[in-house]
Every structure is written in structure tokens, then in C-alpha cells.
């Protein structure tokens, strides 16, 4: 009996298609990869899922930094910091 995909990513792997997707090989220093792997393990997600989230966040920051009145605020408990992007 053929395997049934449970997620879109799994569907792509099963069918062997990369429809609407682009492949990009990424080489990371071992220490950086280990940091990403540890974080992915802590959040119970794959490294790929975590990198996709990082890219989405980076794209949001890139779009927002073009606006002169936009700011990023980091809130940790009762402390608030404004992030300045150069």
C-alpha cells in the first residue's frame, strides 16, 4: 500500500516533485549549525523548519527597515529595548 502524506513537505518527498520550489544548498560553519540544531531540538522542529522561520523573519525585517518610522521593539518581561538596524 502506498504511503499517505501527512504534510505538504512530505507530499513533495513522496511524489519526488519540486513543483513551485527552488533548491539551495547552504554551507554553515559547524558551530553555527550546532546552535541551530540545538534550538531546533529544543523546539521540537526540524532544522529546515527553523531556517525557514528565520528567513521569513529576515524578510519581514528587510521590508520594515525601508520605512523610516518603523522600529523593532524587543520585550523581555518588564524590560523593553528598541532594536536599531544599520
Q: Which residues of 54-76 are buried (b: 16+ CB within 10 A; e: fewer)?
A: eeeeeeeeeeeeeeeeeeeeeee
**Per-residue pLDDT tens for 6-64?**
666 665 555 556 667 778 899 999 999 999 999 999 999 999 999 999 999 999 888 88
Locate the DSSP E strands across 1-86. Answer: 72-76, 79-83
Q: What does pTM read for this prediction?
A: 0.68
pLDDT for 3 equals 62
Distance of CA 20 to the CA centre of its chain: 18
Amino acid at each position: 500500500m502506498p504511503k499517505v502524506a501527512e504534510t505538504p513537505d512530505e507530499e513533495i518527498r513522496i511524489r519526488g516533485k519540486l513543483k513551485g520550489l527552488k533548491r539551495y544548498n547552504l554551507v554553515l560553519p559547524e558551530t553555527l549549525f550546532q546552535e541551530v540544531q540545538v534550538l531546533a531540538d529544543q523546539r521540537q522542529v526540524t532544522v529546515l523548519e527553523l531556517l525557514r522561520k528565520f528567513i521569513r523573519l529576515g524578510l519581514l525585517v528587510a521590508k520594515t527597515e525601508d520605512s523610516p518610522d518603523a522600529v523593532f521593539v524587543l520585550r523581555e518581561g518588564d524590560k523593553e529595548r528598541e532594536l536599531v538596524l544599520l
